[in-house]
Structure 1
Amino acid sequence: MQRRTFNFALAGIALAATAPLVHAQAWPEKPIRMVVAQPAGSGPDSIARLLGEQLSHKWKQSIVVDNKPGGQNAIGAQAAARSPADGYNFYFATSAALVTNPYLFKSLPYDPLKDFAPVGMIGRVPFVLAVNTASPAKTLQDFVAEMKANPGKVTVANEGPKTFGGMMTRLFASQLGVQVNSVPYVSIGAAVTETVGGQTEAVMGDVPALIQMIKAGRLRPIAVTTAKRVSGLEAVPSIADAIPGFDYAGFMAIVAPAGTPAAAIQRFNRDLDSVLSDKEMAAKLLAVGPITEGAGTPEQMAAFLQAEHARWSKLTKDIGILPE
């Protein structure tokens, strides 16, 4: 009788130990909602749907993209943060939502570090500084010399002072000790159009937004914001050539509401990494946005976010951006 009782106890322990594994294998058992803080048809939306299609094949469950644009990503981030932490709600996030917003706004309806659990990285989005083809600047060095010779007169288009492109423009000028006329536009598309048309001399924007005009010969790229050269723009030097250590890029990632079951996060992370590791998928992503190196682990992403917060806190202070 004692031996039988002992065996039952062992069986119970084994069953309890395998319960999380069984749950992980069963997930997902219903459709998954993915909040995107940009409108339908935008770059992030296209990427979310592309990844969602591949993941839905793996999981045999549909992924419903829920677009909630506006408020510098705050509307979507808040909606995602307040979603049930049941393993069926996730947020397709950008660097603005997860890192830079707290240093630009005095108050936010969400806390990027406390309200979300990291799931996995999608990739980095390099920015590029490009000039109108009529510009006398053929190289980064030419452009710097022009800014020094004409303080405050050289125009650089971007999406505004509190966007990634706007902050890169100010940081670039600040670290070189030059003055630049940063011209804000309502969208990167408008900034590109105005630069191509000659209303501004240069534009600072993400590579996907500028690449077609660059390939068409209507914009001349002179520098990228990442320390490494960018695929498709291998001949374009880095701003780090002029400013050692300069290495900035936007990023895209998946997070979940805080408290989401670890089993769901681990399964999502594993399968996201599998999708991103596919060469064909990586090429498709590169054509519309991020450069991927796989999803990493949730722990690696958490460490990355902590480091980015420290870096951007210093950056915004260095270039005089105060929360409003």
Structure 2
Amino acid sequence: MKTIAHALAATCLTLATSVALAGPYPDKPIRMVVPFPPGGTTDLLGRVLATRLSETLGQQVVVDNRPGAGGTIGSDLVAKSPADGYTLMFGTVGTQSINATLYKKLPFDPQKDFSPVALFAGVPNILVVNPNVPARNVRELVSYAKANPGKLNMGSAGNGTTNHLSGELFKSMAGVQVVHVPYKGSGPAMADLLANQVQLMFDNLPGSLPHVKAGRLRALAVTSATRSPALPDVPTMAEAGIAGYEADVWFGVVGPRGLPPEVSSRLSQEITRIAQDKAMRDKLVQAGAAPLTSTPEQFSVLIRRDTDKWAKLVQASGASVD
């Protein structure tokens, strides 16, 4: 009996020591996967959040860019990572909602294989053209595209991204033929747009805003239902003549399925505090984004709702990805 008692005591001591050594979350650096390359809006906003999280959590949050296949390569990596809170993803409406409809065969389930943590920001897309394009508004662009079918090239961050779908919706609703040129992220697409290798793009507003203000790109319209405070003189697509057009984009943090509730709660609270901070709110608005907040449960509801919403948009636009 003494032997059993001693063994139990030793086991309890070992467990207690393990718990003590584990400490409160986080006790080591966190990897935040950005499933797109550097230079685009997802990368920009992800790095802004990672920097502040590093300060508030007391552990470095390292951005790890894993681009490709409309965000599915990075998403797959995170979906298959340990659900311990040390591998997260800065996801988008594309990775969490749109890809479920666009891709016939995904190595993961966008809804079931992730733990939603918190929303962080929302942005409209903006229709921008290279200044060499002879169009100063959407109506002129539509007229030029109809007169020159297939002559204009439209860049995007990749097949199935919100850039792509916003453009496909425009093509469908305006009845124009432009050539879609997918890239591995907004950064490379933007570089070619500035060089006039492609002539137009539906870019996330923060990525295009500096170029619009510098006169390197011409802004024709935003895809949201209301104008952006960052560019109040730029009309919405509906105001510009494409009645009923609307497409918004959100960004937030998710983890692998089975993320411990205490970890999810801690991260959600910190991200919400960061998004509500006045200095951060001002920074996001100046960049063309709007701060968003949510609980993990609210974020989950949004993902399910937008999966249905964008499925209809995908079908209406005729967009598809093999």
3-state secondary structure, aligned to 2:238: helix
Alignment of 1:1-324 (within 5 A): 27-31=24-28, 32-39=30-37, 43-148=41-146, 150=147, 152-153=149-150, 155-159=152-156, 161-176=159-174, 178-186=175-183, 188-189=186-187, 191-198=189-196, 200-241=198-239, 242-286=241-285, 290-293=289-292, 295-324=293-322
Contact 1:132 1:196 in 2 (8 A): yes
After superposition, the C-alpha distances for 1:55-81 in whole angstroms (9 at most, x for unaligned) are: 232232332334333333222212211
After superposition, the C-alpha distances for 1:121-148 in whole angstroms (9 at most, x for unaligned) are: 1112321112333444222233334445
TM superposition shift of 1:189: 4.6
3-state secondary structure, aligned to 2:119: strand
Q: Report the CA distance shift for 1:239/1:156 in structure 2 as closer, same or farther (over 3 A).
A: farther
Q: Distance in 1 between matches of 2:60 and 2:159?
A: 38
Q: Distance in 1 between matches of 2:26 and 2:207?
A: 38
After superposition, the C-alpha distances for 1:25-65 in whole angstroms (9 at most, x for unaligned) are: x7424123322223456543443333223223223233233
2:70 aligned partner, one-letter code: Q
Q: Distance in 1 between matches of 2:225 and 2:33?
A: 31
TM superposition shift of 1:222: 1.1
3-state secondary structure, aligned to 1:133: coil
2:284 aligned partner, one-letter code: L
TM superposition shift of 1:246: 2.4
2:131 aligned partner, one-letter code: T
Contact 2:37 2:187 in 1 (8 A): no
Q: Distance in 2 between matches of 1:193 and 1:61?
A: 34
After superposition, the C-alpha distances for 1:80-133 in whole angstroms (9 at most, x for unaligned) are: 112222333322112222122222222111111001121111112321112333
TM-score by length of 2: 0.81
1:128 aligned partner, one-letter code: I
Q: Report the CA distance shift for 1:51/1:202 in structure 2 as closer, same or farther (over 3 A).
A: closer
Give the total of aligned pairs: 296
Q: Distance in 1 between matches of 2:199 and 2:85?
A: 48
Contact 1:195 1:203 in 2 (8 A): yes
TM superposition shift of 1:236: 0.5
Return 5+ residue gaps in structure 2 as ranges: 1-22
45-54 or 192-201, larger mean C-alpha shift? 192-201
Q: Report the CA distance shift for 1:131/1:55 in structure 2 as closer, same or farther (over 3 A).
A: closer
Q: Distance in 1 between matches of 2:155 and 2:39?
A: 21
Q: Distance in 1 between matches of 2:34 and 2:188?
A: 22
TM superposition shift of 1:183: 3.8
3-state secondary structure, aligned to 2:127: strand
3-state secondary structure, aligned to 2:128: strand
Q: What is the root-mean-square deviation in Å for CA atoms of aligned residues?
A: 2.6
- State the identity as a percent: 32
Q: Report the CA distance shift for 1:146/1:41 in structure 2 as closer, same or farther (over 3 A).
A: closer
2:259 aligned partner, one-letter code: T
TM superposition shift of 1:169: 1.5
TM superposition shift of 1:193: 4.8
Contact 2:34 2:89 in 1 (8 A): yes
